[in-house]
Structure 1
Amino acid sequence: MKEIICPYSWDCGKIFSPQELSVFDYNFVQSAVEKKMTFMIIHCPNCSREFKFDTVQWKADEFGYSNPNVVVTKNEKTTKQLTAILKKAKIEIPLSYFEYLISNKFEPQISIFPDEEDFTLFTLNELCEKINIDGKSYLTINQLKGFTDPLLEIMGGSSQKKQEIQYQELADCLAIGFENTRILLVDHRDQNSLWVFHPDGGDIEKTDVTLENIVSREE
């Protein structure tokens, strides 16, 4: 196999051979090459960051990290425009949370697990921004659709892990926040329970926090 270039050029960007990967990642790459997978998450052996990798194009892309030296200017859309985007995509945000997002009570930082880094909630504008996963475009809020097919392909068509939310259901869950590469999501079944999805291993972790907790917390 050819060498891989770490996509985080601003402070790493090193070239390494697949054999330098962890045993787990190396075996993962070997399997992905055989299946001609275009999306997977592996770790740079030098900076330890996760990144996306396409075994067909043999290309690495950033995942969850961005160059801190680059300032990106965003054009904020109006609530009416954002509502139209969601409606077109047939996405419904629970009303109480939607109202929270557009209120002056919105606070992006939220503690999900004690003694761990806070998660950051996406603003309404960020939820409606487009991101690219495995060569396809998704709104940030429904980005979990982009992980479903690759996960099912890896797991042989079913969620082999014992977890309450199956991979087939993951696509229907709304992504509302993040911490590093971890994604905070709303359970589509009750539109209240919150879970954390780990893209690198495919785990879906239950939390003790609910959407109601976020909306009702004091400023």
Structure 2
Amino acid sequence: MKELICPYSWDCGKIFSPQELSAFDYNFVQSAVEKKMTFMIIHCPNCSREFKFDTVQWKADEFGYSNPNTVVKKNDKTIKQLTAILNKAKIEIPLPYFEYLISDKFEPQISIFPDEENFSLFTLNELCEKTNIDGKSYLTINQLKGFTAPLLEMVDDSSQKNQEIQYKELADCLAIGFENTRILLIDHRDQNSLWIFHPDGGDIERTAVTLESIVNRMDL
């Protein structure tokens, strides 16, 4: 009989002769060959895992074990499902940007400040995913509500008089991207200006980039 190969290639995958099998498995294989069995379960003599074996094709396959290093890709929701999530949360993305998000022209990398790292724009799926902030769950797109809640407890209106966006207003702004801990957001007041929120200090920074320029990719 020919040699066998353990199907668990990620940490075994060794080649061995049928004689290296346990006495029970070896006798089982001999009998299965005579009967031309296409399905049987035997054990690798090296890693001890059981696997499927086809004596006709002389082929081993995994059985009950999977590669722990394999990344399972999440299935994206449909646009209809994502729209339903946004509607339920009473979130309205400016229409031109929504159309940009679902178009083939969407490009996740965006330069906000010259000579600095690019920001990454969230996809529509990512915007509708949940994120945990201070033990509470928020959609990624309205995560600023989670950051502003504790800030509002620590400061009053008078201490924010020099801020161009008050924290109460910031809570209504939509997060659309990030760079490290910095969050790129749409000013809800004009639905076009873009600002940066710094969660580590609570600072809010104006940018020269607009939502319109992202959609049209003008001078970026």
**Alignment CA distance shift 1:158-1:101 (3 Å):** same
Given that residues 152 and 159 in structure 1 are in contact (C-alpha distance below 8 angstroms), is that contact kept between their aligned partners in structure 2?
no
Deviating runs (4+, > 4 A) in structure 1? Answer: 69-72
SS at match of 2:163: coil
* Cα distance in 1 between the residues matched to 2:70 and 2:202: 30
Shift of 1:160: 2.0
Shift of 1:191: 0.2
* Cα distance in 2 between the residues matched to 1:140 and 1:171: 13
Q: Note the alpha carbon deviations across 1:93-145, whole angstroms, 9 max, x for none.
A: 00000000000000000000111000000000000000111111100000000
Shift of 1:147: 1.0
Which position in structure 1 is the counterpart of 2:164?
164
Counterpart mapping for 1:131-170 below 5 A: 131-155=131-155, 157-158=156-157, 160-161=159-160, 162-170=162-170
Q: Which sections of structure 1, spanning at least 5 residues, go unmatched?
A: 1-68
**Alignment CA distance shift 1:145-1:70 (3 Å):** farther
User: What is the aligned-residue identity percentage?
Assistant: 82
Counterpart mapping for 1:170-209 below 5 A: 170-209=170-209
Which position in structure 1 is the counterpart of 2:36?
none
* Cα distance in 2 between the residues matched to 1:210 and 1:141: 17
SS at match of 2:172: coil
* Cα distance in 1 between the residues matched to 2:147 and 2:83: 25
- Are 2:108 and 1:111 aligned? no
Given that residues 184 and 194 in structure 1 are in contact (C-alpha distance below 8 angstroms), is that contact kept between their aligned partners in structure 2?
yes
The letter for the 1-side match of 2:102 is I
Q: Highest CA radius of gyration, 1 or 2?
A: 2
* Cα distance in 2 between the residues matched to 1:158 and 1:125: 35
Q: Quote the RMSD (CA, aligned, Å).
A: 1.9
**Alignment CA distance shift 1:70-1:109 (3 Å):** farther
SS at match of 2:184: strand
**Alignment CA distance shift 1:105-1:163 (3 Å):** same
Q: TM-score, normalised by structure 1?
A: 0.65
Q: Which sections of structure 2, spanning at least 5 residues, go unmatched?
A: 1-68
The letter for the 2-side match of 1:135 is G
**Alignment CA distance shift 1:211-1:153 (3 Å):** same
Shift of 1:73: 3.2
Which position in structure 1 is the counterpart of 2:54?
none
